[in-house]
Chains A and B, each alone.
Chain A
């Protein structure tokens, strides 16, 4: 028996996209019939163009080995194939090519609360969710009290979970999954939810799992969490494995890789799946430098968003600012601020004006979302990036180091 827990060899996954209208994938009977009727015609134009048009390699030739007890962080931009990799490893979907060997019981946590039913009580959902995740009934009974303790929901055990706050819901869901006790644990970005206190508790639990000698594969955008939990990193880039090695080196190259960003938003890999491009670009312009995406600390600046089609009166926009570690820094939205509407509503350009961008020098990511009448039309993660450069914002020519926080506050001292 070797000490290998996971061995993936030449994994590839091909997805068929763009067939039919709306949600990629399923088709109506009519489309199939039309295709079928057209099939004879295709004999005259067999140049393989068809196949190239509707398919995308979500993973291409990925091979790696993970030793038992290793905690591996999987990083990469959205669309790099992280989730596809986890889905193959957890047997949700088949690889198109390649093989995987897993030695040990596999537990996967790709989403918090999968299979929870809102009408059932907390107690009932613990059993249901546990069974869905692959626990035996006796096992659930044995760990029941531990799960309830961890989730801190004793009082609401017999309340239908539809009456739970979102925090309680997430706590309960994570608690069940955390007690799954598999030898190999696959975790997707699930810690992005829940309050900070509970996130810490979850990270602690995962660290504990790792110390017990289990193998963990962990996908996250939160570089802080990745670096504190994992020793080994896998960097995926456009479906391929671009680096495998010590976590700090992998994180470093991830930050460097994501540097060359000058994408239009129309074909941005960070767009949430199933959304069509409504946002065409986002640009950050500093008032003093007039540089694109480079702003002096404390300078006034504009976020200029452009959309594909004119926006309606009920359109809402929001911008999230994150540091390179994925920590949220600030949130701007039309819902929070006073919105000045010009008379004509057929504008395609929306400007968010910031009086002082008092962030410490460094690089930041911008997420942007666009919704209309409460429906999210478009949402692009890491849509753009900007750099804050040194300035004399504090009047002393000095600025605090970014290590101690991301925000610069003007302050005076008195004796």
Chain B
């Protein structure tokens, strides 16, 4: 062992200098820390529902009861059109990815400030923190998704072959949550106002996305423009891939993907740029 250690010695050379301006993403280093992603995500999942009475049931309660309320007010009373399928499953199919997005965005935003102690005492690529905050939401998503499958059985809706695209739409939601989360969590370190803005943003964003209603309410070309909100692509995609409503949401998905990727990449660079100040001001 002693030998092995001296052997690998010359390999490692760390050079530290003041970083200025826009800096590289250091993805190779991020990869070297891949196990930390696993452990931090695992910790978040493990700790989230400790000391709660209902435990992991919360992952289902949140979207499910929102669905019940929506069905009552928008479905029954307002008679909102639901693309020809029962309103409860129409809204729940959107609420599952929406909840994943909203929770991911919120926890990513708070992640850096909540890990202030870690940031001040240990070095590792800071990107690990918001990314694992979003990733830990996947478990909640999976639980809520099981209920969705149950509901599909209940309503006798069978997924078409389009279901293979589903992971892509989940990825789109993840990238959107992470992209916006990266911007907001870096801003939150400097301006604690952000923490209070987020619930408002999430609320606003939900009504700006086709969760409770159908994007069919808009005509082209407005609908494609509407797709610049990445969540439009995600939600339409979920409904199409899983419930087989409407045709493939082509232009919308392109617009949404483009917007999501732009937000994500700019978020990464902004985060990396601000990273050097985190330990000093968090």
Does A associate with B in a complex?
yes
Which A positions have Cβ atoms within 8 angstroms of B? 1, 15-16, 25-30, 32, 87-106, 108, 110-111, 114-115, 117, 119-120, 124, 127-128, 131-134, 136-137, 181, 183, 212
A183 → chain B, closest Cβ, in Å? 6
Q: Is B108 an interface residue (CB 8 A)?
A: no
Interface centre among B10, B36, B189 (most CB of A within 10 A): B36
Residues of A within 8 A of B16 (CB): 88-89, 91, 94-95, 99-102
Cα of A32 to Cα of B117 in the assembled complex, Å: 25
B191 at the interface (CB under 8 A from A): yes
Residues of A within 8 Å of B14, CB to CB, are 91, 100-103, 106
Apart from A93-B276, A102-B12, list 20 A-B contacts with CB within 8 A: A27-B190, A29-B193, A30-B193, A90-B122, A91-B123, A92-B120, A92-B279, A94-B16, A94-B19, A94-B276, A99-B15, A99-B17, A100-B14, A101-B16, A108-B122, A110-B121, A120-B46, A127-B39, A131-B38, A134-B124
- Count of chain B residues with a beta carbon within 8 Å of a chain A beta carbon: 41
**CA–CA, A96 and B12, complex, Å:** 24
User: Residue on A with the closest CB to B193?
Assistant: A29
Cα A16 to Cα B280 with chains together (Å): 9
Q: Beta-carbon contacts of B49-77 to A below 8 Å, as 1s and 0s?
A: 01100000000000000000000000000
The residues of B that contact A119 with a CB separation of less than 8 Å are 46-47, 50-51
Contacts of B190 in A (CB 8 A): 26-27
B79 within 8 A of partner (CB): no
Contact in complex: B280, A15 (CB < 8 Å): yes
> Chain B binding site: helix, strand, loop or mixed by DSSP?
helix
CA A124 to CA B117, docked complex, whole Å: 19
> Does the CB pair A103–B39 fall under 8 Å?
no
- Contact partner of A108 (CB less than 8 A), chosen from B19, B39, B123, B192, is B123
Known: A25-B280, A119-B51. A110 touches B19 (CB 8 A): no
Known A92-B121, A99-B17; judge A27-B12 contact (CB<8 A): no
User: Which of these, A28, A105, A127, A128, contacts B12 with CB under 8 Å?
Assistant: A105
A95 near B191: Cβ-Cβ < 8 Å: no
Is the Cβ of B35 less than 8 Å from the Cβ of A137?
yes
Residues of B within 8 A of A26 (CB): 189-192, 281-282
Query: With A102-B13, A128-B43 in contact, do A93 and B51 touch (Cβ < 8 Å)?
Result: no
Q: List 11 A-B contacts (CB under 8 A).
A: A89-B16, A92-B120, A94-B19, A96-B18, A100-B15, A110-B122, A115-B118, A132-B36, A134-B124, A136-B35, A181-B5
Chain B, 7-32, contact with A by CB distance < 8 Å: what is the 0/1 string?
00110111111110000000000000
Q: Using an 8 Å CB-CB cutoff, how does the interface string of B103-141 with A read, 1 for contact, 0 for none?
A: 000000000000001111111100000000000000000
Known: A95-B16, A103-B9, A119-B50. A132 touches B118 (CB 8 A): yes
Chain A residues with Cβ below 8 Å from B35 are 131, 136-137
Residues of chain A within 8 A (CB-CB) of B46 are 119-120, 124
Which of B12, B122, B190 counts the most A-chain CB atoms under 10 A from its CB?
A: B122
Across-interface contacts of A131 in B (CB, < 8 A): 35-36, 38-40
Task: Give min CB distance, A252 to chain B, whole Å.
Answer: 31
Residues of B within 8 A of A95 (CB): 16-18
A103 and B15 contacting across the interface, CB-CB below 8 Å:
no
Q: Is the CB of B117 within 8 A of A114?
A: yes
Return the contact of A104 from the options B9, B39, B123 (Cβ within 8 A). B9
Contact A117 B10 (CB under 8 A): no
Task: Choose among B18, B117, B118, B119 the residue that contacts A94 (Cβ–Cβ < 8 A).
Answer: B18
Bound CA–CA A99/B18 (angstroms): 7
CA distance A91 to B281 in the complex (A): 15
A183 to B12, CA, bound (A): 10
Of A16, A102, A117, which is within 8 A of B43 by CB?
A117
